[in-house]
Structure 1
């Protein structure tokens, strides 16, 4: 399985082409749109979320509600495109036309590095593609992966554990209950006391023209033992999950299981003891490893956390330098979110879902859903009697 995305923040649309989804998988466009709507929610989002009401179009690879095995094309239109047709025109425009050229790089963005790398004197050519708007189409891709995982009883959920230094108590809930509670929370947090403090921190940052980041967690239950591999560095599933989460715009750190806390503890408090019972097969007494050992799944829930930095575009902008005059200026403003951590959690769920689905397809025959279902069932029976 693989996919590519294309499109700019203010271009006509975002596009993804997915290859390797097995045939005869039921696809619900409504479920994809539900995930897109989740990404647009969250306390602290800016005005663009009022402009864009994201919905997906499926242009290939699905017929009468079932995948065909051919590449799947997903498109999400940018509703604001009507105001940017000249600025983002693919054909040449007159010198006097509105181009909204950007010559002042914003600290914390890809603007300056990308402009130097790609020889662009107009940094709009960099910021349009590097924008977090691209995560919209990745959420759509992840929604397709979720529908594949559902066929095997694999569930994906997420929660916010920290915003702006406010840390929530991590409360273990059944996954369905966790989903219900976080969906009802404006910051996707289970801890109600922390939720109120997070909202207050976001409001304070907005009043001060600042922004704040946080920590999100993704949990995947029902994953069979042995996805991924230990035999090569690029086949280790924990490494691929870390790369996927780190690829999300503004993410600066990833941990799996207890993560960095393992550095503070003796081995006896880090590793998970193994048990076996006839009803459940092999299990771990604890899940400090986050469902992954040796680059492979253990059968326990996969637990991945990511750190999102504060959004670098501020209403009290930091100083920068104009690339034309080399004079100092206040950095320009391109968006208005004071906090996008709850939305980023939805993106994290999407990229984790994709990597788990990809590993599932690598482990089992993935030409057709029927073959996969049969193979997974046989494998689960094998692991229970191993």
Structure 2
């Protein structure tokens, strides 16, 4: 199973093609829209989310509510495109017209300058538009379908925010606080920390600054053995790590107890193996549900660190690529903090990688065959 996205931040919209989804999966369209709405929410979001509706238009691969096995085509319209029609038009401009809203002052922390160097763009908007986090709306749509497939196999995934701007939430079992997390404006299980996070976001916005934070995604219900130890690209943790780091502004990833593992002795971090009538299980879950590149059956725990958004209303110094003179970087509309929204995106990309790894292991063209294969494997593992 694979997917590809296309489209720009202020273009007509975002297109997605997903290939390899089994036939016979009932699609809940309202659930897809709920996922899109979750991404638009979160404390600290900018005005763009007041403009967009992020309605997903299915253009192929789903008929009468079911997947057909054919590639699924989705389109998400950019409502804000109406303000950028000439700026983003595909047709050539009239000869006497200059390019509108040309960007020649690259913003530190963005792809602007490096992308311009690589692709030879003198108007850095040609980089900005595609490298924008707007693209993540398409990935949430993909993840919404992947999550529906996983649900048919008894696999659940959710995320929560562990810190924003240096404000840390109390370390609790997030699975026990799902309702609190979903109703929190910052997607945090700790209500006291949530208030402090929102105050920190307010202060950053007042200062013309931005904040980053830490996100954790948790996958439950996964059978042991998903992934592989035989090649680096088939290891489940390497696939997940690649996917989450590919999300805009993500700078570090950890599994289980993450970076804390490096500070402890081996005897305190390995997960001892036990057995009962249900099969093998681990006494602890310090390694986050993955050993040797494969799922252990314990919950998979993935932490991701998000840097502060680099678009600042108090912009940093840059250099104009035409004049080579120093200037402050150009300002584009931005959020003060997008960590809560990013947690939904992390959910989506992790869901897709887990679903793709399951299909690689059990390879099936129909949902019924897939479910039968997984059920048979569960019994085989229990009796091993």
TM-score tier after normalising by the smaller chain length: over 0.9
Contact 1:157-1:178 at 8 Å conserved across structures: no
2: CA distance, partners of 1:229 / 1:365: 15
Determine the structure 2 residue equivalent to 1:90.
90
Runs of 4+ with deviation above 4 angstroms:
none
**CA–CA separation in structure 1 for the residues paired with 2:137 and 2:59:** 17
User: C-alpha distance in 2, partners of 1:178/1:281?
Assistant: 28
Cα distance between partner residues in 2 of 1:283 and 1:365: 26
| 1:16-69 alpha-carbon deviations (Å, 9 max, x no partner) | 100000000111111111100000101100010101111101100000000000
Partner Cα distance (2:330, 2:30) in 1: 37
The whole-number CA distance in structure 2 between the counterparts of 1:11 and 1:28 is 28
Task: State the match for 2:281 in structure 1.
Answer: 283
Residue aligned with 1:248, SS: coil
Which residue of 2 is the match for residue 196 of structure 1? Answer: 195
Residue 179 of structure 1, CA deviation: 2.7
CA–CA distance in structure 2, aligned partners of residues 363 and 30 of structure 1: 30
Aligned to 1:338: 336
- Displacement after TM superposition at 1:82 (Å): 1.1
Measured on the aligned residues, the alpha-carbon RMSD in Å equals 0.9
**TM-score (normalizing by structure 2):** 0.99
Secondary structure of 1:57's aligned partner = strand
Equivalent residues in 2 for 1:50-61, closer than 5 Å:
50-61=50-61
Q: Distance in 1 between matches of 2:24 and 2:45?
A: 37
Instruction: Give 1:180 deviation, angstroms.
Output: 1.5
Written as runs of structure 1 = structure 2, the 5 A alignment for 1:33-112 is 33-94=33-94, 95-96=96-97, 99-112=100-113
Give, in angstroms, the shift of residue 365 of structure 1: 2.6
Q: Cα deviation per residue 1:167-218 (whole Å; 9 max; x = unaligned)?
A: 1112114x3x533111110000001111111011100000000001000000
Distance 1:87 1:99 in 2: 6
Separation of aligned partners in 2, 1:96 and 1:256 = 52
Q: Whole-Å Cα distance in 2 between the matches of residues 229 and 106 of structure 1?
A: 40
Conservation of the 8 A alpha-carbon contact between 1:364 and 1:375? yes
Separation (CA, whole Å) in 2 of partners of 1:254 and 1:206: 27
Question: What is aligned with 2:365?
Answer: 367
Once residues 332 and 50 of structure 1 are traced to their aligned partners in structure 2, the CA distance between those partners, rounded to angstroms, is 22
Structure 1 unpaired stretches of 5+? none
For structure 2, which runs of at least 5 residues remain unmatched after alignment?
none
The 5-angstrom pairing of residues 123-202 of structure 1 reads: 123-173=124-174, 175=175, 177-202=176-201
